[in-house]
Structure 1
Amino acid sequence: MADQFDVTLEDGDLLTEVELTTNLIIAASNSDERLSTEEIDRILGVLH
C-alpha cells in the first residue's frame, strides 16, 4: 500500500524565486552600502 504522505513536491517557479531571493541576500550581506537599483536588476537578471 502506498503511503499517502510520501509525495514529492517540486515547484519550479518557487525554486527560482528562492534562488533569486538568496542571491539578493548574499549580495546585500557582502556589500558595505545599499545595493543600487542597477545592481539589484543585474542580480535578478532584469533586462532593460
Structure 2
Amino acid sequence: MHVAPVGGTAVQDHVALAEIELCGELIIAASTAREERLSLESIDEVLRVAEERDAEERDAVGE
C-alpha cells in the first residue's frame, strides 16, 4: 500500500479547483432560489456561460 507523504507535496489541480468553485456557486444559487428549481438561464448565469462563449469568440477572431 502506498501512502502519500505528509507535508508540502500536495499537487494542486487548477481545473478541479475551478469545478469545485462552480459547484459551490451552483449550490448557493439553488439554496437561495425563490423557485423550486433553477432555470436553465439561471444556471448559465451562475456558470458564466455567456462570458466564456464571448471569450472564445474573441479568441477565434483574434481580438
What is the TM-score with the length of structure 1 in the denominator? 0.81
Which protein shows a greater Rg? Answer: 2
Specify the alignment match of 1:46 in structure 2. Answer: 49
Distance in 2 (CA, whole Å) between partners of 1:17 and 1:25 is 12
Q: Which has the higher contact order (CA 8 A, sep 6+)?
A: 1
Distance in 1 (CA, whole Å) between partners of 2:31 and 2:45 is 16
SS, match of residue 10 in structure 1:
coil
Greater percentage in helix? 2
SS, match of residue 21 in structure 1:
helix
Deviation at 1:35, TM superposition (A): 0.7
Specify the alignment match of 1:31 in structure 2. Answer: 33
Specify the alignment match of 1:17 in structure 2. Answer: 19
Distance in 1 (CA, whole Å) between partners of 2:32 and 2:21 is 17
The one-character-per-residue Cα deviations of 1:1-48 (angstroms, maximum 9, x if unpaired) are xxx713122000000000000000000001131111001001001026
- Which 4+ residue blocks in structure 1 deviate beyond 2 angstroms? none
What is the TM-score with the length of structure 2 in the denominator? 0.64
Q: Percent identity?
A: 44
